[in-house]
Amino acid sequence: MPRYRIILEYDGGPFIGWQRQKNGPSVQAAVEAAIAALAREEVTIRGAGRTDTGVHALGQVAHFDLEKTFPPDTVRDALNAHLRPAPVAVLAAARVAADFDARFSAVKRHYLYRIVNRRAPLALERGRAWQVPVPLDAEAMHEAAQLLLGRHDFTTFRAAECQAKSPVKTLDRLQVRRAGEAIEIDASARSFLHSQVRSMVGSLKLVGEGKWRGRDLAAALRAAERKRCGPLAPPQGLYLARVDYPDEADGAG
């Protein structure tokens, strides 16, 4: 039974998130329907990350098994044809080993959060970035962000409904950079807690506004209390950018 790995790009706006649910359309269900149309098989796919309602992806990874064997390019092109007009695209497909798992084989996940820092409303990027009209100090945000690097109890930045067994995570990278009106925040770790990136971004915004300093962010982290977190950044600015796997499993692309 061949196993396939696919890399997906999608606009999370029309979906209730990645995971299939009964209360609305999901990315998972859309892709599973496309696979069924191709192979005449009912399959359940596993994704590398369960993006929330409104969250986008530039490089979500999923895997699934089929009874039939298809060339990877056929899988990519046929799924894209059956996915239309949903804003979901299969960027690449590949055959992988039977023990490859999109979620559990991943060694690092990379998220991008985009802020557009201007007073004028968004026209082209509406629904794809967080518009913040007040001036933000991106350098101060970056300096403060470095205080969150390393292994910590991230309870402060964890959603109440998070199902992770432990709030302790290791944050490998958290960079803030400005390019004109855009402020981009890159976060990398093996895994994240539910809403961790959006929670950190919301707190960093307070630093950018001058309402918090780095020591306030560090104190919020040490407190390990959700009520010490800044406002939760909205989902439309968040992108699952890339998922890394060990070299022996990195065959799609």
Full set of structural domains in the chain with CATH: 3-105 (3.30.70.580), 108-241 (3.30.70.660)
Residue 148 has pLDDT above 80, yes or no: yes
Share of the chain above pLDDT 70, in %: 98
pLDDT-derived band at 160 (thresholds 50, 70, 90) equals confident
For the entire predicted model, the pTM comes to 0.94
Instruction: Tell me how many degrees the CA angle 154-225-47 measures, rounded to the nearest 5.
Output: 40
Q: What local confidence, expressed as pLDDT, does residue 45 receive?
A: 97
Share of the chain above pLDDT 90, in %: 94
**pLDDT in the model for residue 163:** 84
Say whether pLDDT at 251 is over 70.
Answer: no
End-to-end distance of the chain based on CA atoms, in angstroms? Answer: 21
230-241: per-residue pLDDT in tens?
Answer: 999 999 999 999
Q: Which of 158-167, 216-225, 232-241 has the lowest mean pLDDT?
A: 158-167
Just list the catalytic residues: 52
List, in order, residues 6 or more apart from 95 with CB less than 8 Å away.
2, 3, 4, 5, 72, 251
Q: Give the DSSP H/E element, type plus range, for residue 8.
A: strand 3-10
